[in-house]
Amino acid sequence: MAEPDVRTTRLWDLAGRWRGAGIAIGILALTRVVQILLLVGLDRSIEEPAGLRSNLLIWDGGWFQRVAAGYPTGYTYGPTGTLEGNELAFFPLYPMLIRLLTTLGFSSGTAALTVSWLASIGAAVALHLLGTTLFGSRKAGWALAAICCSAPMSVVLSMAYSESLFLALVAGMFAAAHRKVWWAAGVLGLGCALTRPTGAAAAVGLAVAAILAVRAGDKAGARAGEEAGDANVRAGEKKWPPLVAAAVALAGVPAYLGWVGWRVGEPDAWFKIQTAGWGTSFDYGSSTLTFLGDTLSVGDGWVPMSVALILLVAAVAAGVALAGRPWLPLAVYGLVAMVLVYGQAGYYHSKPRLLLPVLLTLLPAVAAATKARPRVAILAICAWGAFGLWYGAYLVAVWPYTI
């Protein structure tokens, strides 16, 4: 990947300030319009249409609206005394923003969708900035925005889910870290950590970026041949911003898990709630391997088969990306995030959605689009988008299970 000039610490310098961001937003808008049209069309094709608004607010959307109304004070039990999942399983930043808008007069559903759509705009801009920063080309920024916003589960960017917010934060965090704008990287990294558990993976990636920055600063100081006193002072000044940014981001997930433990009265309360409500536990990939083996050998249903193929293709794409030696912090984040997705038990049809913000799996396609002739790149991305946008709309409007 191209290594841009990062001597300045202005986040927008490389992207030509606001140039190109408007095109990235236009790409997002086009994918959202097509997605909504597909949702409406597929919904009307079934016997009992739910309606567009209901489809955009289903599943986790209802949970986030309840979280916005307030967290419970402890565990939730069913009629037989069995532990059940409750709102404490959901991280706070997205529902806090929903609650903020409800204080301005929005209904909870409208507030949830408004936050998600605004975050999607931020995600498109952040993806453009990140792609431009990593590859040194605005074409790469547009390609990353287009490929990500039309991926098979990009439908959640239009729904009351936290993926759009997390995607905006994580892409912005890595763009800021690559540009060495550490105050922004730290704030965005903390936002990631308070949005989804995968924020822990993002924080680890930011910590790697901070370590690389400190090492680079030490080498630069040694080469400069400055006087010992001045060199030490300047080296210290350069070390603190990245280290503080990493520390802030790393504190986010433990802080929330600790708060849940304190609120319930058991340190592992969050994990118990997750397992009770959604069967989510880390089994080192055993359930994923079982799902892949059973699905690929039996082929019972095209949706399970498609999920299995998406998981396999994503793993191969990650391997290709790593072979290209991408920027180490983004690679570390991607690997840790994928280990969390593949290594945990839970609903198999949610895994493609959880892979959406990983980004590492998209890098080979971005690199290919950047090198290809514009017409070829556009046609390939349009073909990818046609499938991805239809696939997500189908799983929301027709597929009867949660995503």
DSSP string, 152-217: TTGGGGGTTSSHHHHHHHHHHHHHHHHTT-HHHHHHHHHHHHTT-TTHHHHHHHHHHHHHHHHHHH
The SS3 call for residue 350 is helix
Residue 20: predicted pLDDT: 86
Q: Given a cut of 80, is residue 276 above it in pLDDT? A: yes
Q: What pLDDT sits at residue 19?
A: 72
pTM of structure = 0.93
Tell me if 327 sits within 8 A of 178, measured CB to CB.
yes
Type of residue numbered 247: A
Task: For residue 282, give the H/E element and its range.
Answer: strand 281-282
Residue boundaries of the structural domains of the chain: 21-397
The pair of three-digit structure tokens given for residue 35, joined into one six-digit string: 């997605």
Top-confidence residue, 237 or 376: 376
pLDDT at 232 over 70: no
Report, as an integer, the average pLDDT of 258-273. 97
Q: Check residue 346 and give its pLDDT.
A: 84
- Check residue 45 and give left, alpha or beta (phi > 0: left; psi -120 to 50: alpha): alpha
- Main-chain dihedrals φ then ψ at residue 218, nearest 5 degrees: -65, -45
Residue 231, pLDDT > 90, answer no
| Predicted confidence (pLDDT) per residue in 312-368, tens digit | 999 999 999 999 999 999 999 999 999 999 999 988 989 999 999 999 999 999 999
pLDDT of residue 97: 98
Do residues 369 and 377 touch, judged by C-beta distance below 8 A? yes
Q: How far apart are CA 133 and CA 138, in angstroms?
A: 8
At 24-47, the pLDDT tens digits run 999 999 999 999 999 999 999 999
Report the mean per-residue pLDDT for the chain. Answer: 91
Length of the chain in terms of residues written? 403
pLDDT, mean of residues 261-287: 95
Alpha-carbon distance of 72 to 59, in angstroms, equals 19
Residue 278 has a pLDDT of: 92
The pLDDT score that the predictor gives to residue 2 is: 45
* pLDDT of res. 221: 54
List CB contacts of 200: < 8 A, sequence separation 6 or more: 193, 250, 252, 253, 336
Q: Residue 349, SS3? A: helix
Query: ∠ at Cα 188 (187, 191), nearest 5°?
Result: 90
Give residue-wise pLDDT tens across range 9-18: 455 554 455 6
Q: What is the pLDDT of residue 34?
A: 98
Residue 121's nearest CA partner among 188, 172, 175, 51 is 172
How far is Cα 202 from Cα 246, in angstroms, rounded to an integer?
10
How far is the first Cα of the chain from the last one, in angstroms, to the nearest whole number? 34
Q: Which CA distances in Å does 111 have to 99, 114, 119, 161?
A: 8, 5, 12, 12
Q: What does the pLDDT read at residue 45?
A: 93
pLDDT tens digits, residue range 334-345?
999 999 999 999
> 146-156, pLDDT tens digit by residue?
999 999 999 99
